[in-house]
Amino acid sequence: MARNKIALIGSGMIGGTLAHMIGLKELGDVVMFDISEGMPQGKSLDIAQSSPVDGFDAKYHGANDYSAIEGADVCIVTAGVPRKPGMSRDDLLGINLKVMEQVGAGIKKYAPNAFVICITNPLDAMVWALQKFSGLPKTHVVGMAGVLDSARFRYFLAEEFKVSVEDVTAFVLGGHGDTMVPLTRYSTVAGIPLPDLVNMGWTSQEKLDQIVQRTRDGGAEIVGLLKTGSAYYAPASSAIQMAEAYLKDKKRVLPAAAHLSGQYGVKDMYVGVPTVIGAGGIERIIEIDLNKAEQAMFDKSVSSVQGLCEACIGIAPNL
C-alpha cells in the first residue's frame, strides 16, 4: 500500500515544524507548498536529509505550483501572514482572506478528496471562507484551535497542581481568540472536575480564574516574547493530532472549529466545539449542556466570529 500524501500549504514556521513531525511520526510523504521560491524546496531537502539519522522513510517535495498537491489525503493550511506584536488576529483578516481564495481554488482542483485542516488566522472566519472557496464537504474542512487552546490550559493546570500533563483533560469551546470559553466544569485531573479540586483546596478560585485568563491570552503571550511571529511548535503538534485521528481512523474526541448547522443554535458558521474525528472526517459534533454563564460566554464568542464572517462577505461578496 502506498504511503499517505500530506500537503502542507504554507511552509513557514508552522509548516516547517509540521513537515518535520510528519517524518518523525512516519505519517506519510510530504509536499511542502509555498509562494516563496526555494524555501519549501530547501526545507524539504533539509528534513529529508535528517531521515537517515532519525530512521524514517518519507518522500519530501517542495513546490511553488499547486499541481504538486495532486491527490493529497490531507492538506494542512498555514498560508498567510502571522501576527506581529500589537496586531490582533482580526487585523489579519483582509490579507489572509485573499490567500484562502487561492488556496481554496488549488485544493478544489488538485485535492478534492482531502481532509483539510486550516490553521491560518483569524481561524474561525478563515476556515469558514476556505470551505466555501474550496467547495469541499463540510465534514472534510476543519479548523485547528481547540486542541491548542486546551493544551495550553492543560499545561498551566498541570503546573499549578504539580501533576503530569497526561492526567489533566481540559475543555475549551467557542472561537479561537480572546472570547474562547474554557469550561472548568468539564476539565479534570484524572476525572476530578476543577470545581471539586477548588473545594478540595488544590487551588483557589482566584488562581483558577488567572489560569483561564492566561489561556485566553496564550497566543499573545508568545507573540510578545517572540516579537517576530507567533507560536509554532504547539500549533503544529495540535494539527498533527487531528491529521493522525483522520488517517488512522482513531475516532478521537477533539475540540475543533467545525461547521455548525443548527447545533448549539448556530447556523452556517465554524466555531470550536467537541467533535469526533475519524476516517469520515468530522464524524460527529458533541452537543453538551451549557449552564447560563457558559452559554452567555459561548454566545459572545459566536457573535464575534459572526462579525468576522460578515467582514469577509464585505470584502468578498462571492462568499
Q: Say whether residue 48 binds ligand TXD (CB under 6 A).
A: no
Spatial distance between the Cα atoms of 213 and 121, rounded to a whole number of angstroms: 20
- 50 is annotated as contributing to ligand binding: no
Catalytic residue among 20, 61, 140, 176: 176
Q: Say whether residue 269 binds ligand TXD (CB under 6 A).
A: no
- 11 is annotated as contributing to ligand binding: yes
Spatial distance between the Cα atoms of 116 and 96, rounded to a whole number of angstroms: 17
Spatial distance between the Cα atoms of 58 and 35, rounded to a whole number of angstroms: 23
Q: Which of 15, 28, 182, 218 binds ligand TXD (CB under 6 A)?
A: 15
Q: Which of 34, 73, 124, 294 binds ligand TXD (CB under 6 A)?
A: 34
Residues linked to residue 282 through DSSP beta bridges, in sequence order:
277
> 62 CB contacts (<8 Å, ≥6 apart)?
11, 31, 32, 33, 34, 39, 40, 41, 42, 43, 44, 45
> 271 CB contacts (<8 Å, ≥6 apart)?
124, 173, 174, 175, 257, 258, 260, 264, 301, 302, 305
Q: Say whether residue 231 binds ligand TXD (CB under 6 A).
A: yes
Nearest residue (CB) to ligand TXD, 78 versus 301: 78
Q: Which of 66, 153, 232, 264 binds ligand TXD (CB under 6 A)?
A: 232
| Site track for ligand TXD across 65-104, x = CB under 6 A | -------------xxxxxx--------x---x--x--x--
> 7 CB contacts (<8 Å, ≥6 apart)?
30, 31, 33, 68, 69, 72, 74, 75, 76, 111, 114
Number of residue whose CB is nearest ligand TXD: 12
Query: Known catalytic residue: 176?
Result: yes
Nearest residue (CB) to ligand TXD, 9 versus 189: 9
Q: What residues line the site for ligand TXD (CB under 6 A)?
A: 9-15, 34-36, 78-83, 92, 96, 99, 102, 119-121, 123, 144-145, 148, 176, 229-232, 235
